[in-house]
Amino acid sequence: MTDAGAPQPIELARPEIGPREEELVLEVLRSGRLSLGPIGARFERELAAWLGVEDAVAASSGTAALHLGVRQLGWGRGDEVVTSPFSFVASANCLLYEGARPVFCDVDPVTLNLDPEAAAAAVGERTAGVLPVHIFGYPAAMPELERLAGGRGLGILEDACEALGAVDSEGRRVGARGNLATFAFYANKQMTTGEGGMIVPADPDTAARLRSERNQGRAVDMGWLDHDRLGYNYRLSDVAAAVGVAQVEKLDDLLGRRAAVAALYSERLAELEGVELPIAGRGREVRSWFVYVVRLPDEVDRDTTITRLAARGVASKAYLPCIHLFPHLRELGYREGQFPVAEAAAARSLALPFYPSLGEAEVDRVCAELAAAIRSGR
């Protein structure tokens, strides 16, 4: 309790930054190489090794990584890309940057990821690719989506920005299937660089082109002012990469502790009537815990629940809104009622405080406050 007697606030997310991050950042600051120095390449190598892939290309954000992926696949004006409406807006915006049209289809009610049958039904003459999102760290149905794409010659870009460490139905780590796949390192993610992202290339030529485009179109062996293609400044700074190296070193520990907090929530909330809990896995699928999102009973008003929790010092958030209903996507003709599973999930979902250092007493308090808020909201 604080002095005023109000309960200590419990925030939604909190990065875990320690002495190792400080040490590596200080080394970079003292080295005088703040960008394009050796630690950027080291971060890429170490994350690639952790993922079990040949190479990985760092970028300034997950969104930048997605944009590079869209350009790599050549998706642009006149192309349609089948994707999920239940996502963070960047997975659709990256298509709009290049003039491609996101074609949404509904999601699976359990995983909240692209429903492969709905995806197949959304494929048409103009379809150039599929952009699955591994939402809330749950692996998308990649074997099914790859079959769909393979049969029609479609490109695949996996948005794994929320799913570092997830394992798919064939036991493979998300991002390691040979498709272009992106990760993101904003401060609430499984690991952070403050801001940052990564894209896993399919082969060395792709990697070289991605490295060029993120660096103003310069070829790897070219001088500072030679540019052989359109490029961007999507570089990750060496200060951020230093944080990344330290985070990769403890990634297994971070993921393990996130899973432990999630297990605690699931145990404590199991008896809460009408509340739907996220699954940890199914068969060989394993969620990488990014957020802990419950679905409230229909009769409970979510906004009132959020207000009641906030009054008791517990942060929570409506998470996520459907992206096809944002104004710039409505302009493409999208409306309420088109994707009932996604829209129902978006209407009821509530993210609870979630980070590795969240203690058992805090989880208990969140659960007790949630139960009380739901009781009084019924």
Ligand X SMILES: Cc1ncc(COP(=O)(O)O)c(C=O)c1O
Cβ(143)–Cβ(158) under 8 Å?
Answer: no
Query: Contacting ligand X (CB under 6 A), which of 122, 161, 199, 346?
Result: 161
Q: CB of 313: closest distance to ligand X in angstroms?
A: 25
Distance CA 252, CA 46 (A): 13
User: Is 91 a residue that touches ligand X (CB under 6 A)?
Assistant: yes
User: Is 62 a residue that touches ligand X (CB under 6 A)?
Assistant: yes
Q: Which is nearer to ligand X, 183 or 334 (CB)?
A: 183
Distance CA 12, CA 314 (A): 8
Look up residue 131 and give its two tokens: 């952009």
Q: CB of 188: closest distance to ligand X in angstroms?
A: 8
Q: Which is nearer to ligand X, 60 or 264 (CB)?
A: 60
User: Is 165 a residue that touches ligand X (CB under 6 A)?
Assistant: no
Which residue stretch of 30-38, 88-96, 281-289, 362-370 sits at the interface with ligand X (rule: CB under 6 A)?
88-96
User: Is 46 a residue that touches ligand X (CB under 6 A)?
Assistant: no
Query: Contacting ligand X (CB under 6 A), which of 75, 88, 138, 265?
Result: 88
Distance CA 251, CA 164 (A): 9
Which residue stretch of 67-75, 159-167, 229-237, 252-260 sits at the interface with ligand X (rule: CB under 6 A)?
159-167
Q: How many residues touch ligand X (CB under 6 A)?
A: 14
Q: CB of 237: closest distance to ligand X in angstroms?
A: 14
Q: Is the dihedral of CA 188, 189, 192, 194 positive or negative?
A: negative
Query: Contacting ligand X (CB under 6 A), which of 184, 291, 294, 352?
Result: 184
Q: CB of 334: closest distance to ligand X in angstroms?
A: 18
The bridge status of strand 180-184 relative to strand 155-159 is parallel
Cβ(144)–Cβ(116) under 8 Å?
Answer: yes
Distance CA 100, CA 96 (A): 5
Residues 193-252 that bind ligand X (CB under 6 A): 197
Query: Contacting ligand X (CB under 6 A), which of 53, 57, 73, 90?
Result: 90
H-state helical runs in the chain: 19-31, 38-51, 62-73, 90-96, 116-122, 142-152, 204-214, 238-249, 251-269, 302-311, 327-330, 340-348, 360-377
| Interface positions with ligand X (CB under 6 A) | 61-63, 87-88, 90-91, 133, 159, 161-162, 184, 186, 197
